Amino acid sequence: MASSADDPSHAKNNGDNYSDPNYRIQIGKKLVIFPNKIIALGSNGSLVCEGKYDDREVVVKRLLKTHHKVATKEIETLKKSDEHENIVRYYGVKYDRDFIYIVLQRCICNLADLIYICEQFYDYEMVNGDGSVTSVSVSQSVGNLESLPSVFEGVKLTKDGRPLPFLLKLMRDIVSGLDHLHELGIIHGDLKPQNILIFKKPNGIFCAKLSDMGISRHLPHDMSSLSHHSSGCGTTGWQAPERLLQGRQTRALDVFSLACIFCFCITGGRKHPFGNTLDRDANIVKNMVNLSFLNKLREAHNLISQSLNPNPKSRPTSAEVLCHPMLWDSKKRISFICDTSNRAQLDLNSDFSKALEAIGPEVLGTNLYGYGRMKDWVNFVDKQIMTHLKKFKYKSWVFLDLLRLQRNLFCHIDQHPIIKEWIGPEAEDFDGYFTSKFPKLFMEVYKVVYKFFEEDQRFKKYFE
């Protein structure tokens, strides 16, 4: 039983007026709760509202005492993991006669709200705990919607369908937080955009934090999976098939959900690999996946298709996801191409150089009557660029010369202001230009380099 100091019936408030948005409940000496300032509603009668803890702005997750096992599990997970910057911070827990109050770090919004606001996509469907679907607007899920557009003013998430640095960083944050949980032997079990929070640091940098570990599972020491009958269930449309079929649960469960979240991010919340809201679970069980909307994003298609493999053992680990080129920024991608070209030019007759040359027809296609001969890559590059680079004497039928073109152009672009103006001044412009012209190039080159030089010192930095 809670002490009288922890009992809201003895707490100071401003008139017990539940219609007053400033109505407050004080629990003990530190915690003040504003139950009418609701941020989110959860399952089993839980809610998340605003609060103050030691005069610090926080959020308070309120659960019925009958759900103390769920609360205990979440607190245990947070205590074990929240020192990582991509896990929401835990500050404490309080009790009264009816409820448990978990005090957590205050964030701006969740990932779903960020995506919808930046994409100006304000209406979407939400699946309720009983499986029914409700049409929701962002204004219903964000307490201070009117201020959020100004917080994210000027933020762009994608360009020509490709994630921009802001979004890439948040996606890396999500994987980093998940990898931390997995290293600790914790399966999150309910990854979805609404359970990823967006936090703004004092220096103005945004980061993503995993939250809502109420159904997380701790793997016993030296074990990699849980039994077929492990308790807890995730959210409709975001669960791996083994969870839906009550199979053994491993860390790969979260990687499957992560892939669905990546699709959500890249498409501005408009696409899901398993279709419409009501059909998703059935399609997941049947492995009826559609990634056609990623056909021009080969790195994303490669990673997400692997991560959605119905066989959990065939999915990459969270650590492998973190290293995948889908999450590389443009500077790293350009550096990789430059290093690859330099290595190939050292010995054009090496097995490595020959393997690179052999992917040319896959990247560029073949001539109709050329008996498999690769198309001339110069036909894909704007004439303004080739005119200024005649001195390098490129062979348009040699794939390695296309890599050499990118290397030379990047290293000497300041000497060609006309080209720089044509492509754009930033690394993202350069990378975006060549990716738009040769969408298959980077992933195919990556596969060859990984095969030959996974342990090579020069390339190890890309694969670790």
Q: Catalytic site residues?
A: 190
Q: Could you tell me if 428 and 421 are in contact, meaning their C-beta atoms sit under 8 angstroms apart?
A: no
Nearest Cα to Cα of residue 218 among 248, 182, 246, 194: 182
Both tokens of 247, joined, read 């199979």
DSSP state of 86: T
Q: From the centroid of its chain, how far is CA 8?
A: 40
Both tokens of 409, joined, read 């152009």
Q: From the centroid of its chain, how far is CA 102?
A: 26
Find the angle CA(234)-CA(236)-CA(241) to the nearest 5 degrees: 75
Q: Could you tell me if 352 and 448 are in contact, meaning their C-beta atoms sit under 8 angstroms apart?
A: yes
> How far is it, in rounded angstroms, from Cα 233 to Cα 240?
11
Q: How far is CA 22 from CA 16, 50, 116, 124, 145, in A?
A: 10, 10, 28, 29, 18
Q: List, in order, residues 6 or more apart from 60 with CB less than 8 Å away.
A: 31, 33, 48, 49, 50, 51, 101, 102, 103, 104
At position 459, the amino acid (one-letter code) is: F
> How far is it, in rounded angstroms, from Cα 109 to Cα 222?
36
Greatest alpha-carbon span in the chain: 87
Q: In which residue are the tokens 């350069």 written?
A: 430
As a three-state string, the secondary structure of 275-342 is: CCHHHHHHHHHHCCCCCHHHCCCHHHHHHHHHHCCCCHHHCCCHHHHHHCHHHCCHHHHHHHHHHHHH
Count CB atoms within 10 A of the CB of residue 301: 18
